[in-house]
Each structure stands twice: as C-alpha cells, then as structure tokens.
Structure 1
C-alpha cells in the first residue's frame, strides 16, 4: 500500500508535502515539483503563466486574467508584479475574492498593448508592480480616455455614447458612436397588414468609471433604446475596455429583451459610427472586409484599375495597397467624373455557411454582387491613407445573422454599422412555437409533460427578460492597414490572446472544491478514463459543427437527447431539445478545462457560459432571476428554476477572466429566494409554497437544486465583497440544514428569507431526489467544507455522500427506510468525497465500483462512431453512443473520483 499524502493549506503555502500515517489514501493532487515542471513558480513566490493558445502572440492589445492564491499567502497590501522574462511589466491588479481570513483568494491582473511578446510570464509575490501611463479624465459631461495610441471621448448623456475617437496622431477618425435598433410590427412573411419599421437609438441613463488604473480602464454605460415618439425598448449595458498603448477598444454589449414578442419584431440591433473622410479624393478612400481563413476583400471607393485607360502600375498598385495616390495622368484626371464611386457596401452573414458582399453607388440605385463565401471573420475597415477605423464582431458567423454596413463613403462623412442582428435577415420571431394544444388544466399539463417531456403552462414560455451579450472591437489606424494586419487582427478578435495559470496553480490554491487533479495515464484504467474524457469532449465539439448548433440565440448550447430513428438530436420534441445546463454540462466543461488547460475546451466552455447565463435566464420580470428548463426554445419551458441560472456555472469564467458582465449575472442570483415564493419550481411535482405566511417572510426551498444554487450565489458574493448579511444567510442556512434530524435527507424545508434559517423538519419526513446533487450542489458543498469550519455541516454532507448509494441496510439503519434512486454513477463522486475525508479505503473502492457499474449513466463507455451518409441524412454525420446528461455526470464523476481517490483505481 502507498502512504497517504494529505495536502493542507499551510503545506501548499510552504510548497511541501505532509506525510500522514492515518490511512492509505493518496490524493492525485500532486504538487508541480513532483512533475518536475521547470517553468512552475513555487507557490510561496508567485504563479507561472502561459498563453492559452500555446504560444505567445506577435502583438497584444491588452489582456486581463485571474489568479487563485492559497489561503493566507497574499494579503490585501501585498505587492504583486507581472514579469516577462524576469523583467517587471507595466500592470495593475485588484482583488476578485477573499478567503474568510481576509487574505486574497483570487486577484485580477491586466497588462497593456505590446509587441514581440515572450513565452515566459509569471507573477511575483512581494515585488512592486510597474505603473502604466493610461489617463482617464472625467468632467460633468464627458469622460476622456487616453491610452497613448488612442483618445476617446465618452458622453454622459444623450443618444451618442462615443462622442469622438482620435488615433495616435490626434486625428479625429470617428464620431457619434451609438447603438441603433430597428423594430417592425409583424414577423416577416405575415403580410395581413402593412409592415411598419421603427428606428430607435441609444439613450444614456448612467455612465460610470467601473475600473480605473494606470494600465486598464473600464467605462460602463447603461441605457435603453428610444424612438422619436418616446417608446423605449431593450435596456442595455455597454462596457468599453481601454488598455495602455492600445489603439483598440474592446466592447461588451448586453441587452435584455423586454418587448412584446407578438407585436415587436427586432429587425436589427447594432453599433454605428460616423467616419470622417473629408478632404480625401474618392480614389484614396478604402474599404476592407475580412472573409474566411483570413482572406481580405479590398477595394477603393472609386477604382482606378481595369479602366480602358491605364493610369499606370504605380497608381494601381498604390491604390490596391491603400497608399496615397497623389497625382493621376491627365487623361485619367479629365475623365475621373465618369468613374462610378461606390459609397455603400454590405457584408451579410445570413447563415453559418454563407456570406456575401454587395455594393452600390448610393441609396436609390441597384446593388451589385461583389463576393461571396462561407464564414466571414466579421471585420471591416473604412479609411484613407492617413487613417481610419475598423469594427469587428467576435463569433460573427457563429452568431448569425450578422452584418456590417458602410454607407455614404462617397461623402465627407460615412457611416459604419456593426449589426449584431442583421437587418437583411428576417426579423427576430420569438413567439412561442405552439398554441398550447389544449393544455388548460393542471391535469392536461401533466399529461403533456408525460408524452413530450415539456412542462407547459400558458404565458410561462415567453422570452421576456432573457438577454444576449455580444463582444466587438473598435480599432483606429494611422494608415491603411495591410491585408496581413487585418487578417491577423481578425484571428485575434476571434481568439483573443489570454494569459492563464497552469493547472497546478488551481490545485495549490485549493479552489473549486479541491476537486481537480492532473491528467494521469500511469495505469491502463487511468489511461482509459483520460481517453474517454477526451472522446466525449471531442464528440460534442464535432457535434456543434455537424449539427450547426449556431445562431444568435443558440450559439454556446448543445442538445439534450438524441433521436436514433431520425438520426438527429430531438430539436423539436418538448423537453428533449436544447440542454440549458441540464445535469451540469457547464461544470463538466469547466472542470475538464481546469485539469487540462486545453484552449478548445476553454472556448466551448466560454461560449456556453455566455449563452446559458444570458439566454436561458430571465433577468427582469416575474421570473427573474430564474432560468428555464431544457426545451425546444431556450426560454420556452414553464419550469423556471435556480438550478439553471445558478452562479455555480458562471464562477469559473468570472475568476479566470475577471469578466464584469458575468459578475453582474452572478449578483442577480443572490435574491432568488424571493422569487421562489411566487414561482415554486416543483409546482407540478409536489413542492408547495409556505402556508400561513401573509407577510411573505418564508419560502419553500429544496436543499438540493434550490439551496445549492443560492449557496453558490451567496458564497460568491461573500468572497467578492465581504458582505456580512450574505455571509450570515449562507452560514445560517448551512447550520440549519446540518441540524435537521436527518440533514440533507429531508430534501426540502421552509426558510426564513431575511436570515437564511430553515425551520426544523419532522424526523420521519424523508425526501431524497436523484436530481438534488447534480446541478452544482455537489461541487459547492465540496467547496464549502474546504472553506468553512462547521463540523456539523461537514458531518451532514458526508452522511449524505456515504448513504445515497449505500446499501438497503445502511440506509434503513440511519433513516428508518431505504430508497433506490437514479444516477448512481454520477453520485459515485459523492462516495469518493466521503472516502477521502473519512480516510476509508473500503468506501473508496465502493465509489469506483459504483462508477464502473454505471447505474443511471453508462454501464459501458464507448468511443465507437458510426458514420451516416446521404441520402439517409442531409449531410454526412457520425453517431456516438452518448446522452448529454450521462456524459456530463460521467465526466464530473470520473474527474472528481480521480481527484479524491485516484490511487485506489
């Protein structure tokens, strides 16, 4: 037998191992020194960093990332410096979360724009950081940011957000940057009455400097869209990020849908600029679009090549490269007025598989088809040889329909508009997809649930309160950028360079439940699990492409269940369609990333976090802040639950990237208990609201999916802000669950909203659900036990972990009854956690037996792929033996069993 190694917080700080003689369990959470990783910085000295892509970028416009620290190591006043090849860099840092003792748990770092970056980056504890020179000045009406390469004036009221934008040589490049919205009164194709189109523009309600330092500044703009008649729709938040020495602005745009989906059909939503072209000849004005694989479409507004009269190679080459054409041969100059100037261009991505570029001379005249392709990068440039502007939308083709317009480039002031939803496409039609099919009574709705797995109730399937976030980039230039520059920029927009800590850092810091281990192929069984983990991720990554799980409202999600008869996922069958985080798909991806550091896993998890946190959740209205259960439409299911909107799914991305929008989404969740009073999640199954509570001080709440979600939100808010009220609610709720006669086995209780305290349950009222622990409760309890010294809570949770898959005799001895529930394979990780903490090798072996037996999951895993080809299907596909629920739970169980009892395999 191997000796057991237990890794305490103090030992991690000292970067040593403590040998325990209390048992023979060995955690796979080995320190980096054992891996002989030469680049790993000892925990007491700082943290090693690596580029997520695997190599350093050639240029950087600035980046922000998060680092976890072991408890007690980094104090609030501890200096932290960012080093590149042992040279201190200009940087800034701020805390993201704190340990209960007040030391920093997570800190964010930012560096500005640079060129010729190195591979070797690290953060050093105790060394003073180098300050940057970014400047922010605020007055009554505007905020001015000067990065050193760009100056931006942001208005604090009115409809214009970016008042003026100057490039490095202080030339005014663009002005009047604002959000634009088009709304029509009926869906495209419904021609019973005339279609009326209304235009809206952004109206600023609040502007604040949300983050300010010498390297990074963040301006948060809140507002709503308003038309000339005063009608308001779609409240928005626009965050503008500025970095030292950067000539680029990163923008995060989020809107909440508050329209009437039966009468307000969104025809287009985007961001528009006026671009200055005054005193520049038409043939010296240039447009660029980046298409697929970095290919660039390049033209001048007034072309000089291909004419009957040749102006000469020097002229045409200069024009093609975007350089100034200072003089023309006289025969060309005399006839220049007869060469048409094309002032309007449009790049339209109508689907994930096709885009086209069209142009016309001006409004009122016909369009000419100019180019086409499959997947445009979504980057456009307009300018002159002395400078210009580019706009680029991240995930342009993935979140189709998208569009970029250039208008009136033949005049002194042109317009560039980046459309997140393309006006050339059909208007958004967010109406519910069926008429209810007679499900008017509770009994009829239960019958419907029984056949299509869809929880239906009138008026519950509305999109009101859902949201959507887009990420785009604004960049200034002092000269026409080369094709290579734009091509590279489009790739950087799609895959922004990111610094990230090594997986060992998560283990050393003991974050996210201490449930992370490094990949291990030391035995055949370990190797088989690693290969199966990789297979499942790769399969879903391929499914996204094969099944075209793309689109404005869909990108980031996966489907729930497969239909082997039709060879399609059940996209049109009630509750079997979009997954909406069911059984912790998000957590599966994030834990897999934490242990592998794989950039493709990060990309998929990031897209899912953006989607599930926005589209699948109601952010305003009667259902706020609850999420919607899996359905044909993301918001369509009438089961509104915290298990979908849970902050547990968002915390990873927030702490790894310091993304403020995700911070907003998690903060929305802290008062979800109040909504549960009015929208009881178990209303068709048995959970009922409290009785005799006229003042609405109480709420009925499950200890699993409800409390687990609230606990994750309360924990996150407490560690982010130190909020004592939230902390007390969390600790009170933990203590009063733990002191129930049978702890978690009571299943639910009545909680006092103000304090978080649960009323005692009768000793014989036992209720156990197979779903309680599979929506983040497991992971948040793992984390709470490692974080909070509350022996009674630890005892109650370990008892639940030990007995859920226990024998009939064990269950009956403790509860007076026994139960057999589903998802035993997924719950093997609970058994493993109990084995680890109880130092019980027999229990550890039982956990692996449960995992391999596969009850409620995969009895036998497979990497088999079956090709299905036309004409049987629309396009060639590969079918695997998978179920999204089972994959997520198998993956989490595999990874967490490896983390806690990997040596017992």
Structure 2
C-alpha cells in the first residue's frame, strides 16, 4: 500500500479497494482480513468475484490517525481464510452477524438510528412530507447537541423538498452508509430528484455527505437559484466569544462576531489578538473599558465565501438580512471550509472541489442569535440562476459534427454529485488545524496499491502492463507520460472548470484560433468520446501516477453523472460530444457503459459509482426505444439495430460488470449467447458492423457483411479492453480467436480483404488503422505473428503526432490569443486517448517496438 499523494493531515477515515488474484481469497474469509497495524479500526467487504467464486476485489474502511504510514494499511490474509473456505459463487457480502463488533446503524420501525460513539443521530425512513429534513439532531454522548437537523434547501419559487425513503445501504461496525432518496417540486412541477448518502465512521464526529442531484427538464427554465445542504447548531455565551473562520488561498482567516477592537483601543489590544486567533476572552477589572466600548461595535450575523469562478472568490458579512452586505475581501481559490462556533466548539463545513466546481458558496447565518445555520451551496444562491438551456435552436450536422439532425437537447435525467463534510469540533480549534482539515477534505488522503499488485492480480484487466524499462520502450513511455502531463496542464490553462464542466476535456483543437473548438457542436466537450477515462485509469494503474488518478477521478464523476440520462426518455443512454453536455441528438450506450467507471469503483469502493454500474445493466432496452442506426436503416416492429461496437461491446461491459459484482450468471449468459451468435455468422466480429437485435431475447441477427457503421467504430470506444478481459474471464478460446482474426484482418492489404470476404469488405470500411493496433497486437500475440507485431508498431508510431524522437513537451509551441498560451496545434482528445490505450496494449502483448520482450507465445 501507499498514499496517492500524502498521509492524512488530521485524524480521519478512509476507504480503499484491494485486488486479489483468482483463488487467493474466499468470500468467507473477507471479514477476517486484518491490516498490518491490527490496532486500527477496520473492516472489509467484497466488491467483486472471480468466475470460480473467489474474491476479486475488497473494499476496506479504516479510521487512521494523521500521519499514518501507508504500510500500516496493508491487508493481511491469515491462512485460515484461504480460498478453500469460499462458499458458492455469488454469496455476496458478509452478513451483519459476521462483523466483529456492534453495527453503527440499526433500524427501529420508521427510523434509522446511527451511533458512532462520537454522536447519535436518527434518520426517518421517509414520510413524503415537505421540509427536506434528512436527519434529526446530532447528539453527543453527554447529551450536548452538536448539530440540528440536516436538510436540503433549494432556492426556487415555491420549492419544496420531500424525503421519500431512507435505508442502510452499507452496514458496518467501522463505516456505515445511509442512502436517502427524495424529490424537490416547485410550483407543482418536479424540479429535481436527489439521492443523498450519509457516511459515518466509528469514533468520528463527522458526517460525510455524497449529494447527487438529478434534474428534470423543467430545470432548463432557469428557476434554480441555489441548491444547498444546511445544518443548524445552537449557540451559547458571549457574542465576543463567537468566531467565524474561512479557508482562503493559503491560510484560514478568522473574525469574531463582535470585536473588542475600537477607535479608543486601536493600539495595544491583546484581547482582540486573542479573538482573531479564535481564543476566548474574558473581561477583567483592567479591561472593563475595552470591553464596554467593544460591545458598541456592530454584531455580524452572516458570513459568506462565494467562489464565482475558478479564479475569484469574495468574502462578505452582514449584520442581518435587511441590511447591506459588507465586502471583507477577495481571493483566488478558496479551500472551501467555513467554521463557526463558540467556546464550547462548533461546526466546520467543507465542500470538496469548491473552486473547481464553481459557482459554490459556504455560508453561516444567525451567529448573533441562539442558533446558526451552516449551508454548503453546491450552486451558490447569490449568483446567476442555473442555466440548462441549449446553445442554439437548430442542429449543425454538416458544419459542426453534431451527429443526427435531431434536436434532443434536454437536461432530463442528467445528474451532478457533490461531496460535503460536517465536522463537529468540541473546542475552539486553531487556524492551523482548520487549514489542515480544509486541505484534507479538499484532497482526501487516498490509499492505493502498488502497480505491481494491480498488475499481478489481473483483477484490473489484462490490457495494460507495467512500464517498460528497456531502451526500446523509452520513447513510447515518454510519450505516454507526456500526454498525461499535457492534459494536467491543459485543464488549468484552458480553465476546464465549473459545476457542469469539471472533469471533462475538450474534443478537438482549433489551430487558427489557438484554442479548443468550444463552440462547434460535436467538437466541443468530449463526453468521454473514445474512452479517455479508460486511458487515464490504465495510466494510473500501471504507474501509480497521482496526476492520472486525479484527472480520471474527476472525469469519472463528470461523465458518469453529467453525460448520462439517469431517467426519462433517454434513460441509460449518454449524450455524445457537444457544446452542451446533454445537447447531442445521438444518445449512446457507449457513453454510459460501465467499463469506463468500474476502475474507480474497485479502487475506492464508492457506493454511488457502484449504483451507476448497475443502472445500465439492462441498457439494451434503451436501444429498443432509440435505434442507434435509425439514420441508415428502418427498424422492424420486432428488431432494432445494434453495432457490434460500440453498442454490443458496451452492453457486454455492462453485463460483465454486473456478473463480477453479483455472481449472478444470467449476466454471463447474455455475453456467451452473443459470442455464440457472432461465431455462427459468416465473418465473426467482421460480420457487420451493424446487426439487428431482438432486445427481448437478446438475439443478434446478421444482415449482411459491410453494413453501415465503420469498423473503426467497433474498436474505438474501449471494446478491445472489454472483450480481451472477458475472453480471459470466460477462458473462451473461440472469442479469443475472433478478436485475433479481427486484428489480423484490419492489417491485410485491400485485395486480401476482398478475397477473404468475397468482395464484401474493402479498405473503405476500415478507417483509422492506428485505433486497431491494439487488436493487431492481440492477433500477433494469439497467432505468434512477428510480422503482424511489427506492422502494428509501424502504424502506431507513424501516428505518434510529431514522432517519438523528442519529448512530448518539445513538440509544444507558444501562441498568442488574448494571452500567451502553450499549444499542440494538432492535438485531439480522440487521438490522445486511442494512442495511449493502443500503445499500452501493444507494449503488454508484443513488447516494445523493434525489441520484442521475448518470443510471442500463444497462451490459452
């Protein structure tokens, strides 16, 4: 184990995933897995299984002191828990009875009761009544109220939030997750739905909130003025001993609610210095006049930090809502924390990605009274209303690559997830400690495994290998690293931030304007076109590179939520690339497929991402509603159309994810049925690209070889990575052979293509051969074909965009727009993603270019 960037700065709780080789760990042994430091409170649960029923991935929850060494988190497998104890495949997680100590949560009729040891809180299981209250008060063991009800607030005309259900999603003795679902109506119309997860850890006076908002079409009417999560806390004592602290760019800034600083005492005033440090002050005989004058100062009830853009935040305070807010100052990028309290302690609220997902705000109101309200605004109430309209009132298919001439831009069913923490603090903390807390919550310490473990277990796929160390691989490795560095810098240089945009890259570059084609339909936001998230995750797995992890993490949360319709007319489909993320008329299963996001699920065990994997498990019904090839073929009442890739390959990804996570063989059977039907067709994976699909029976029907669709489309969206892992999991040599034949065929001369298919296929069907080099490498590996291996590298190196003779950074150049920028004039995210994925696959299967790692052997 290692920390991705750094050890925790403060005492905190973490969760991480650990892979296991097939046969190494039985499901019955999971509750017995310990950590190297057995004193740490810890528990494990299974996330996925191998075909033989042994555990493939586990999630580990642990409470760690600040500064803990990563080696302390190493899971230790005792011999008694070896794989021979594995029960039948698909037995699922350990039962509550198997956990070593008491559970943190229990159900009592219509209420969930959570007791972390640091507080207790009750959560209604759902009444449907308006109010938006998610919980009852948070009560300390000594009876003190740490915080009042947690509730969702939506600033819109007549908005009312109601909770419909709550349940214990993940029971545990160390970590428990309660899932709450509800809706917000405005003027009698449902405006949005919400799924809010409250995560609790043993001994921790913290509630971590994963807030998912799912929007209805009515949201495009610009009536949402703010969305926030609010918690009240009672206040006691002297106004002079109430403080508010805000994390700015580099430190925490503190002000008292009422200051003892005054005109007569503007010189030596140690009590004022103590106030600014968050320390209590007390009137003495010597300071009576200082305090008397100070009590005539204004009392500030409201404090607010608003991040209006990625480069600007403002601080303000207000005596009361009827009066003018006073500007305190401004800054660049706030660390997204506000603390407020009195001498008995208080609450620190943090909003992760505060400046990256602007406009956001943190506010505390009521500091002059008996109770203060802490609000984390994931969309700030004090800025322009949320605008979900389309950017044009027509389609621009010929000029802007917008897909079909169908205007299907709707935010119905799109989502956005925010991560919010409420930390209850017993005593008035120092500014330094609050700064450490802010940094920890903004970039949580993440335990990860060494790349060698991810690789040797084979649990994270079979289509990438560890970095090459031989000289022949140096230039390729340098290019792979250069691409990660380029996009890391480009996110910052181009300002790819904002509530709806953060986590996405742009699609294609405009070398004339020296910026990305932000306003040209299908060339603007990439919406995971050609699987950049898969490229980034595999880059991290093989190198442990924190840059790749953070890029991929942000892209996972963006593309899994924003680029997909979670309900409504386009449910289970994603939107292809566009100026507006949900704007393209092409709604595709390739955008929503599980294979893009399962990496993050296994590395972190996050419940929301797991939910999204299951959400698309039956996405074939979406194809039945909206034929992906409707532009070219008329469907029959019984059958829609499906491309072998990226449609069927995306379904395979969804089914494989569900099979490995549940053990239910119905999902495996769907895959093997499709493979058998493809095997029976005249040319295997070359029998399309488009087929007919009976969605009710999941039957594939051959039309004719050479249909519309393009063979590069079959393998450009992650299909090779999905299929090769599936072939190994099934140990299906027939499927391996089809994959190998596809790769070998792509590299054949045109005359040979025509001869083998009776004239049905020629080079016009096979664009972008560099995207097929991974498949060629697979064919070379399978058939032990050195010539084909050389061909694959020749094609890939010729497509290296500037060659491999210089570092990637050396191919960049300066350009002038309204400011100076660094650019690669020929860059596209499609090229970067596919070059990276294919290069990693070639390195693993056939070794570096011109210097094979050894004989290419056929392993079955």
Asked if Structure 1 and Structure 2 have the same fold, meaning a TM-score greater than 0.5 normalized by the shorter chain, the answer is yes
The counterpart of 1:816, out of the listed 753, 758, 761, is 758
Aligned equivalent of 1:733, options 651, 667, 674: 674
2:755 aligned with 1:803: no
- How far is the alpha carbon of 1:113 from its aligned partner? 4.2
Which of the numbers 55, 67, 76 marks the counterpart of 2:27? 76
Aligned partner (choices 462, 479, 484) of residue 532 of structure 1: 479
Q: Which residue of 2 aligns with 1:26?
A: none
Q: Which of 760, 764, 779 is the aligned partner of 2:721?
A: 779
**Residue deviations 1:323-354 (CA, integer Å, cap 9, x gap):** 32233533245445422110011111111110
**Cα 1:199/1:289, change in 2 over 3 Å:** farther
Instruction: Quote the Cα distance in structure 1 between the aligned partners of 2:203 and 2:66.
Output: 10
Using the TM superposition, give the Cα deviation of residue 313 of structure 1 relative to its aligned residue in structure 2, in angstroms.
Answer: 4.7
- After TM superposition, the structure 1 = structure 2 runs for residues 610-629 of structure 1, keeping only pairs within 5 Å, are 610-629=557-576
Show structure 1 runs of 5+ residues with no match. Answer: 1-48, 184-197, 440-447
Please name the residue that 1:285 is paired with. 242
How many Å apart are 1:407 and its aligned residue? Answer: 1.3
1:518 pairs, out of 446, 466, 473, with 466
The one-character-per-residue Cα deviations of 1:520-578 (angstroms, maximum 9, x if unpaired) are: 2321x311111111111111111111110100000000101111111111100111111
Aligned to 2:78: 126
**Aligned equivalent of 2:858:** none
Aligned to 1:575: 522
Q: Distance in 2 between the 1:87 and 1:667 partners?
A: 34
CA distance in structure 1 between the aligned counterparts of 2:731 and 2:470, rounded to whole angstroms: 35
Q: 1:532 to 1:458 in 2, by over 3 A?
A: closer
2:664 maps to 1:713: no
The correspondence for 2:147, drawn from 163, 168, 174, is 174
Whether 2:824 is the aligned partner of 1:885: answer no
In the alignment, structure 1 residue 135 sits paired with structure 2 residue 110: no
Matching residue within 420, 437, 440 for 1:472? 420
Give the aligned partner of residue 164 of structure 1: 137
Q: Is the 8 A contact 1:131 1:215 kept in 2?
A: no
Preserved CA contact (<8 Å) 2:8 2:444: no
User: Structure 2 residue aligned with 1:769, among 692, 701, 711?
Assistant: 711
1:758 to 700, 705, 710: 700
Q: CA RMSD in A?
A: 2.3
Judging changes above 3 Å, is the alpha-carbon distance between structure 1 residues 676 and 232 closer, same or farther for their aligned structure 2 residues?
same
| Alignment partners' CA distance in 2, 1:399 and 1:345 | 21
Tell me how far 1:296 sits from its aligned partner: 1.0
1:273 equivalent in structure 2: 231
Change (3 A) 1:362 1:825: same
Instruction: For residue 77 of structure 1, give the secondary structure of its aligned residue in structure 2.
Output: helix
Asked if residue 844 in structure 1 is aligned to residue 789 in structure 2, the reply is yes
Deviations 1:634-660 (A, max 9, x none): 111101111111111111111111111
Counterparts of 1:854 and 1:878 in 2: how far apart (Å)? 18
Listed one character per residue, the Cα deviations across residues 337-389 of structure 1 (whole Å, up to 9, x for unaligned) are: 42211001111111111001111111211111112101011110111121111
1:167 Cα shift? 4.6
Q: Deviation at 1:866?
A: 4.6
Cα distance in structure 2, aligned partners of 1:429 and 1:567 = 27
Residue 699 of structure 1: which of 626, 640, 643 is its match?
A: 640
Number of positions where the alignment pairs a residue of Structure 1 with one of Structure 2: 820
SS of 1:349's equivalent?
Answer: strand
Q: Do the aligned partners of residues 130 and 111 (structure 1) sit closer, same or farther apart at CA in structure 2, a change above 3 Å counting?
A: farther
Range moving further from structure 2, 158-167 or 482-491: 158-167
Q: How far, CA to CA, are the matches of 1:637 and 1:232 in structure 2?
A: 24
How many Å separate the matches in 2 of 1:892 and 1:687? 32
Q: 1:44 corresponds to which residue?
A: none
Within 2, Cα distance between the matches of 1:150 and 1:601?
37
- What is the distance in 1 between the residues matched to 2:745 and 2:412? 42
How far apart, CA to CA, are the structure 2 residues paired with 1:764 and 1:166?
68
The Cα offsets for residues 157-212 of structure 1, whole Å up to 9 and x where unpaired, read as 343112112356542121121011112xxxxxxxxxxxxxx153431101000011
> 1:492-543 CA distances to partner (integer Å, 9 max, x unpaired)?
11111111111111221223431221112321x3111111111111111111
Which residue in 2 is equivalent to 1:863?
Answer: 809
Q: How does 1:555-704 map to 2 (within 5 A)?
A: 555-684=502-631, 686-689=632-635, 691-693=636-638, 698-704=639-645
- SS across alignment from 1:59: coil
Mapped partners of 1:130, 1:892: distance in 2: 41
The 1:835–1:242 alpha-carbon spacing in structure 2 relative to 1, beyond 3 Å, is same
Q: Secondary structure of 2:731's match?
A: coil
Does the residue aligned with 2:224 lie in a helix, a strand or coil?
Answer: strand
What is the alpha-carbon distance in structure 2 between the residues aligned to residue 641 and residue 736 of structure 1? 23
The one of 534, 545, 550 aligned to 2:497: 550
Write the distance in 1 (CA, Å) between the matches of 2:112 and 2:741. 57
Shift of 1:606: 0.4
Partners of 1:133 and 1:484 in 2: CA distance? 35
Which SS does the other structure have where 2:699 is aligned? coil
The answer to whether the Cα contact below 8 Å between 2:113 and 2:121 also exists between their aligned partners in 1 is yes
* SS of residue matched to 1:897: helix
- 8 Å CA contact 1:134, 1:244 repeated in 2: no
Question: In 1, Cα distance between the equivalents of 2:31 and 2:753?
Answer: 51
Change (3 A) 1:734 1:130: same
Rate the CA distance shift 1:705–1:764 in 2: closer, same or farther, 3 A.
closer
CA distance in 1, matches of 2:422, 2:192: 23
Aligned partners of 1:432 and 1:636 also within 8 Å: yes
The superposition leaves residues 375-431 of structure 1 with CA deviations (integer Å, 9 ceiling, x where unpaired) of 011110111121111110111001000011211210001211110001111111111
Q: Which residue of 1 is the match for residue 86 of structure 2?
A: none
- The alpha-carbon distance between structure 1 residues 311 and 173, as it changes in their structure 2 partners (threshold 3 A), is farther
Alignment-derived partner of residue 63 in structure 2: 112
Distance in 1, matches of 2:238 and 2:670, equals: 67
Q: Which residue pairs with 1:17 in the alignment? A: none
CA distance in 2, matches of 1:765, 1:459: 26
Alignment of 1:199-348 (within 5 A): 199-227=158-186, 230-261=188-219, 263-277=221-235, 279-293=236-250, 295-309=251-265, 313-328=269-284, 329-335=287-293, 337-348=295-306
Q: In structure 2, how many angstroms separate the alpha carbons of the residues matched to 1:521 and 1:721?
A: 38
Q: 1:565 and 1:764, CA in 2 relative to 1: closer, same or farther beyond 3 A?
A: closer
* 8 Å contact kept, 1:512–1:783: no
- Aligned residues of 1:168 and 1:478 also touching (Cα < 8 A): no
The whole-number CA distance in structure 1 between the counterparts of 2:158 and 2:349 is 22
Distance 1:727 1:826 in 2: 28
Q: TM-score, normalised by structure 2?
A: 0.91
2:812 is equivalent to residue 853 of structure 1: no
Instruction: Kindly provide the CA deviation profile for residues 793-825 of structure 1, in whole angstroms up to 9, marking residues without a partner as x.
Output: 222222112112222344234322342222211
What TM-score results when the alignment is normalised by the length of structure 1?
Answer: 0.87
Per the alignment, do residues 766 and 336 of structure 1 end up closer, same or farther by CA in structure 2, a change over 3 Å counting?
A: closer
Q: Which runs of 5+ in 2 are unaligned?
A: 82-97, 853-860
Query: 1:673 touches 1:699 (CA, 8 Å); kept in 2?
Result: no
Q: Residue 469 of structure 1: SS of its match in structure 2?
A: strand
Look up the match of 1:94: 45
Name 1:416's counterpart in structure 2: 374
Contact 2:339 2:346 in 1 (8 A): yes
Does 1:360 pair with 2:306? Answer: no
State yes or no: 1:900 paired with 2:852.
no
